[in-house]
Amino acid sequence: MLRQKKLAGKRLSMSFTDYRIEELWRSFMPGRKKISNNLTSEIISLVVYQPGHFAEFKPTNEFERWAAVEVSDFNNLPAEMETFILPGGLYAVFDYRGLSTGNSLFKQIYETWIPGSDYVLDDRPHFEVLGDKYKNNDPASEEEIWIPIKAK
């Protein structure tokens, strides 16, 4: 069970057909060092999907993608940073090792693990935790994938 978290970062609207992730990270990373009240060195890559995004999935469905860090409070943040409150709740957590561009684990989670489990997707943000072992575009990179779930 995840507790609520306060995040500070940047966001962009995008779809899988207009995937602007590199633009988001280029915008966020220089200002990240100006955030003085972060709680860890981990970076959070968060996605806010519209209700029904997966039930009526199309690659053109828009969503909001965030690049953020967890902060103790929203005081004294750089002007260019936005704030987000990540609600607490139940999450399935998957450890992933490999290229961040690989989508086979997500396919397995959404098409096999969830349908075969006692859970369904919950309408809360999805996110990845990019810690010390995360290395962009490296096959040895490690991250945690957090998928919001609730009992069937």
Domain locations along the chain: 5-151
> How many whole angstroms separate alpha carbon 115 and alpha carbon 120?
7
pLDDT tens-digit readout, 12-49 = 999 989 999 999 999 999 999 999 999 999 999 999 99
> How many whole angstroms separate alpha carbon 105 and alpha carbon 79?
36
Model-wide pTM > 0.85: yes
pLDDT of residue 149: 97
Domain 5-151 fold: Multidrug-efflux Transporter 1 Regulator Bmrr; Chain A (3.20.80)
Identity at 45, one-letter amino acid code: S
Sign of CA dihedral 48, 53, 55, 60: negative
Q: 138 versus 90: which is more confidently predicted?
A: 90
Identity at 104, one-letter amino acid code: S
Q: How confident is the model at residue 1 (pLDDT cuts 50, 70, 90)?
A: confident
pLDDT of residue 127: 96
Report the alpha-carbon angle 78-82-86, nearest 5: 130
pLDDT of residue 54: 81
